Amino acid sequence: MKRYSFVQLLRNAIGLGDGWQQAWRSPEPKPSYDVVIVGGGGHGLATAYYLAKNHGVRNVAVLEKGWIGGGNTGRNTTVVRSNYLWDESAAIYEHSLKLWEGLTQELNFNVMFSQRNLVMLAHTEHEMIEASRRVHANRLNGIDAEIWSREQTLAFIPILNKSMNIRYPVMGGSAQPRAGIARHDAVAWGFARGADALGVDIIQNCEVIGVRREGSRIVGLDTTRGAIDAKKVAFVAAGHSSVLASLAGFRLPIESHPLQAMVSEPIKPVLDTVVMSGAVHAYVSQSDKGELVMGAGIDAFNSYAQRGSLPILEDLASAMVELFPIVSRLKILRSWGGIVDVCPDASPIIGRTPVDGLFINCGWGTGGFKATPGSGWVLADTIANDRPHALAAPFSMERFASGRLIDEHGAAAVAH
């Protein structure tokens, strides 16, 4: 792999270079691999990258039924933060955030990670108390977090609705200065390019249609591009995790729902941070192109359709207009949906499954993008060493029987 650099850019621009290489190969699947990862989104590709990079496991394939990054990796609102309430969540998301901070250099691919602060608004006395509880919990876990007054919040976000005569006036909020946004496609492409350079085969248009077992052990997969033997397999398939689990003969505590988002027409810079509000249920940032990128809550019903219902977007639009009256006449350019895998406690499942040699990473629900590098890191370690990584251990599937849930639902509210 030729490294991207300013010199290379300059040489190619003036015709002295030897052109641009393909960023990753498109190999035919080999008959057998040490590890096969099912799902070529950010998490799957990151898992393959860290398997090769940190653990020297290079006979690895990533199978993707569509194209890489075409699922939730390319459908989210790109928010990256780590200010979660519970210790287990804070640990894994903060590990991920630290990886984000060096990811562009690590991958030699500009993921455009922009740490632009993130403000979670509080609209009631009770929300202020909850915000301060979370800020203290974050600080005990070594995460940067601040509690902001109404004046501080309004000064930092000038377009916020300043009126006290609305249903949810801004009382203040909590902020995480190191949080921000990133370019989601670049994350998938960067990990793909990095993994490919280390020998990983990325196989697109390859859907898994069967799981081959010998006794309680997985020995391979049937795919639309033929049978592939594997010593170990990891399912990293987000919204389609239940489909894969049923092929392998077990169930998951997961329901798949549409999660919708939309962008406005591009306007001049008005918002240089990320704003989230649980009370009116919206989260928004402004992209480098000038579009306001807005996210909503999930549609209530189960779906695999990558589209949701209009009332969800209407609610989002009304929330936006209440928070930022100046956006009321903006046109919406496009809206879309992804299929998110929602766990009962809004925390992921990472680790082993009832099938020997089969690992799973799923249940990130509405908030998986921010965890991409951290999730890949801990799953790669879990696969390579056949035991849960310390940060992944609390997120095992056994917690649903033991009762040790990591309930981020109330703590995270909308805001994933």
Partner 1 sequence: MLLIPCPYCGERTESEFRYGGEAHFRRPENHLEATDEAWADYLFMRKNPKGWHRERWMHIAGCKRWFYVVRHTVTHRISSVYKVGDPLPDLPS
Q: Determine, following the binding rule CB under 8 A, whether residue 66 of this chain makes contact with partner 1.
A: no
Could you say which residues in the range 321-360 bind partner 1, by CB under 8 A? 344
Q: Going by C-beta distance under 8 Å and a sequence separation of 6 or more, which residues neighbour residue 119?
A: 148, 153, 156, 157, 173, 174, 175, 273, 274, 275, 276
**Distance from the first to the final alpha carbon of the chain:** 35
- The identity of residue 352, as a single letter, is R
Among 247, 243, 201, 239, CA closest to 221? 247
Q: Identify which range of 153-161, 172-180, 380-388, 398-406 contacts partner 1 by CB under 8 A.
A: 398-406
Stretch binding partner 1 (CB under 8 A), from 97-105, 214-222, 264-272, 298-306: 298-306
Which of 61, 157, 252, 383 is the binder for partner 1 (CB under 8 A)? 252
3-state secondary structure of 195: helix
Strand 292-298 with 282-286, pairing: antiparallel
Is 260 near partner 1 (CB under 8 A)?
Answer: no
Of the pair 62, 312, the CB lying nearest partner 1 is at: 312
Total number of residues that touch partner 1 (CB under 8 A): 24
Contact call for residue 301 and partner 1 (CB under 8 A): yes
Residue type, 101: E
Task: Tell me, rounded to whole angstroms, the distance of Cα 335 from its chain centroid.
Answer: 19
Q: With respect to partner 1, which residue has the nearer C-beta, 142 or 410?
A: 410
In whole angstroms, how close is the CB of 307 to partner 1 at the nearest point? 8
Residue written as token pair 């027409």: 265
Q: Phi and psi for 8 in degrees, rounded to 5?
A: -65, -40
Cβ nearer to partner 1, comparing 178 with 240: 240
**349 touches 363 (CB < 8 A):** yes
AA identity, residue 227: A
d(CA 178, CA 98): 10
Nearest-approach distance from CB 333 to partner 1, in angstroms: 21
Binding mask 209-248 for partner 1 (x = CB under 8 A): -------------------------------x-xx--x--
Residue 296: CB minimum distance to partner 1, A: 14
Q: Is 304 in the site for partner 1 (CB under 8 A)?
A: yes
Candidate residues 303, 353, 366, 396; the one interacting with partner 1 per rule CB under 8 A: 303
* Residue type (1 letter), 22: Q
Q: Which residues sit at the interface with partner 1, rule CB under 8 A?
A: 240, 242-243, 246, 251-256, 300-305, 309-311, 344, 400-403
